[in-house]
Structure 1
């Protein structure tokens, strides 16, 4: 949390300095751009270079870990199915609700133009491919070339197929390949950690350039983005509560009372992992067998991000709307599929890292610019509060639903039935 606030402070400081310089002398602001903006772009390129290998490594380890968990027993398998189904519902909610919110709370034309110009965006988009061409592009004839060309969607298709193939080979071979990609992912996380350590410098430069290009309107644009994403976060929490009441059959007052200690920990730490002990107590208060909770809740913390597909899609849909990109139904369907896959690959990662690794492949697969993520990650501090609250709601509700659907184990042989 400390690093997130430092990055946010760097963004605000860079923007304030840019506005002051622009106010004093427009020529000085313009003249300073070639010296300061490349620093931010260099940092952004360093962030982008980690995306391809990290996505491949984390997607493979996420799928193999999910498959192993599903094979661990009926309770674990039921839990994994619930996780995937809940993520699908949450992602669909964003695709339906966010366009309505953007129409109900539009950004002013001047603020939108200023923010778009400051982020280097353009309203000129390439024509959407025909559906047949789109289908043909899903299967890469050369996965290495797809990776080199940053063709994320076909690369994800190949990686997903490869990951499921790994789950069908012998135990020793599966462990070897899974271990290799886990090591690759761990090494790339070290690299991206180094890059994010320089985030205050890069974000400061990007914020300065944004303010020089867009002026005070940049603050309004970023505030609108934070508001829209936070509203989707609130909608996701409401969706989780509705699922708890209507599907899991828990009375709302009882669920809220049981979750109060967990909410307190989630708000103070913004971490689902740190909230695990509190979630175990909340589950016990809701009548979940502790033995079952001890299986499902750690699995939920490791594999389940109820808010990830919803809020990650919201970022991409917002950027598309800002840049005037019309998303077709199949592009949104592909984005939803990639968001579900990315949710598996971002397990247990810090917020700033998962923000980039989860959202970048969604954006590329939907034809939406990736560059704005370098700045938007700086204001993730506020929406991340709703991410954590929604995640703990989803974790506890899913645990209760999974546990209620599985009978207690039969007594061991030799005991009276």
Structure 2
């Protein structure tokens, strides 16, 4: 009999942990405090083991990703313009999330009792949110005077900027040196991912222990809270996907009826596979149906699948804003802007990473740049399979939308 997938095992760990924790919460069993403290400590060790890989992994991904993106841009023409459009739409989608998600949560907040229990449980462990500094100091903070110190202190925003600049500098080196450096950082990335796979092998146990802790402190209210979280993140991902479709409707001047007919099989494939790559053949057919020249769809669409995940920074920032909402954290404008920039940059660079790894690789830098606690991330990973439907659906909408728009760019038809 085939063993359940890791996703199913993690989800099982979440359900089991919440169930056991809720029972402990209800019956107030003897020794409950010691048991919960032990579960929290062991689960925390597992989370720290995962967290230790993030800075070297993200830095290596940023360097290799930016170096390769710069090489693509140097080719000019359609590829360079597509990269610019990808970056702009990622920033727009993430910025829109920064405005809409807090507004949605103010109108429809998380279940009050469960959120209050989480806040009480986190008392003393929540990372302190710094006050927004003066504009000059805030801008200077993005350039690390000491990159090693920035890495040691977890100053993720400045570290990502340094990695971006370093990656661009690598792309300007002569071919032997460039290839040697990219190979080194690609090896670092591969080694970190091996460690991540080792740690994720223990994810069902780690999630069980952390879920037991949450269940013991919040009771069954945690279930309703996670359901609320799934709906909010799903809405933000679908909003980002709608922005991608807007590129086809407005930029590409595609009739709505034609776009809907072309997107129907793409959407069905996205929901059934939860993989943009698996949807590529169907997306190519959809773009051909919309009249996109073969030269355009053959270049822009594969580039989009590899680099352009419009729901990634939007959905990830929404996760950070949701956690801030749960803990009652009032984020300053500086923290939100830092989160937007880091989310967009990490999303553009973190390509070719397994989805189970991407969840932490892209979220931890955002959380660190905004000063948010990471303890809930394993629980949110366990239910990620539900908003992942909307992430894939939004991504394929963005891929087709930008490709349809690219068909109208000057000279695109001859590409």
Q: How does the TM-score come out when normalised to structure 2?
A: 0.93
* 2:107 paired with 1:104: yes
Distance 1:207 1:309 in 2: 26
Q: Give unmatched runs, 5+ long, in structure 2.
A: none
Per the TM alignment, residue 306 of structure 1 is displaced from its structure 2 partner at its CA by 0.9
Q: How does the TM-score come out when normalised to structure 1?
A: 0.93
- Please list, as runs of the form range in 1=range in 2, the aligned pairs for 1:302-313 lying within 5 A after superposition: 302-313=306-317
Residues 18-70 of structure 1: per-residue CA shift (max 9 Å, x gap):
11233233433223123322221111011100100001000111111211222
Q: Which of residues 133, 140, 143 in structure 2 aligns to 1:136?
A: 140
Alpha-carbon spacing, 1:410–1:155, altered in 2? closer, same or farther (3 Å) = closer
Moved more, 318-327 or 1-10: 1-10
> What's the counterpart of residue 36 of structure 1?
39
SS of equivalent to 1:381: coil
Moved more, 268-277 or 130-139: 130-139
Moved more, 144-153 or 49-58: 144-153
- Please list, as runs of the form range in 1=range in 2, the aligned pairs for 1:13-412 lying within 5 A after superposition: 13-118=16-121, 122=126, 125-407=129-411
CA contact (8 A) 1:114 1:217 kept: no
> What's the counterpart of residue 2 of structure 1?
5
Alpha-carbon spacing, 1:380–1:295, altered in 2? closer, same or farther (3 Å) = same
Moved more, 261-270 or 33-42: 33-42
Per the TM alignment, residue 177 of structure 1 is displaced from its structure 2 partner at its CA by 1.0
Residues 324-378 of structure 1: per-residue CA shift (max 9 Å, x gap):
2222223222211111111122223222211111111111112222222222111
SS of equivalent to 2:210: helix
> What's the counterpart of residue 415 of structure 1?
none
Alpha-carbon spacing, 1:409–1:212, altered in 2? closer, same or farther (3 Å) = closer
Distance 2:278 2:410 in 1: 27
Alpha-carbon spacing, 1:410–1:333, altered in 2? closer, same or farther (3 Å) = closer
CA contact (8 A) 1:21 1:28 kept: no
Distance 1:219 1:117 in 2: 18
Distance 2:245 2:107 in 1: 24
Residues 295-319 of structure 1: per-residue CA shift (max 9 Å, x gap):
1111111111111111111111111
CA contact (8 A) 2:131 2:332 kept: no
CA contact (8 A) 1:334 1:365 kept: yes
Distance 1:410 1:266 in 2: 30
Q: Give unmatched runs, 5+ long, in structure 1.
A: 412-417
CA contact (8 A) 1:267 1:388 kept: yes
Per the TM alignment, residue 122 of structure 1 is displaced from its structure 2 partner at its CA by 4.4
Alpha-carbon spacing, 1:16–1:158, altered in 2? closer, same or farther (3 Å) = same
Per the TM alignment, residue 389 of structure 1 is displaced from its structure 2 partner at its CA by 0.3
SS of equivalent to 2:310: coil
CA contact (8 A) 2:60 2:186 kept: yes
Quote the RMSD (CA, aligned, Å): 2.0
Alpha-carbon spacing, 1:111–1:22, altered in 2? closer, same or farther (3 Å) = closer
Alpha-carbon spacing, 1:288–1:125, altered in 2? closer, same or farther (3 Å) = closer
Per the TM alignment, residue 406 of structure 1 is displaced from its structure 2 partner at its CA by 4.1
Distance 2:296 2:161 in 1: 34
Alpha-carbon spacing, 1:128–1:86, altered in 2? closer, same or farther (3 Å) = closer
Alpha-carbon spacing, 1:2–1:284, altered in 2? closer, same or farther (3 Å) = farther
Distance 1:281 1:325 in 2: 46
Alpha-carbon spacing, 1:117–1:218, altered in 2? closer, same or farther (3 Å) = farther
Per the TM alignment, residue 205 of structure 1 is displaced from its structure 2 partner at its CA by 0.6
CA contact (8 A) 2:63 2:167 kept: yes
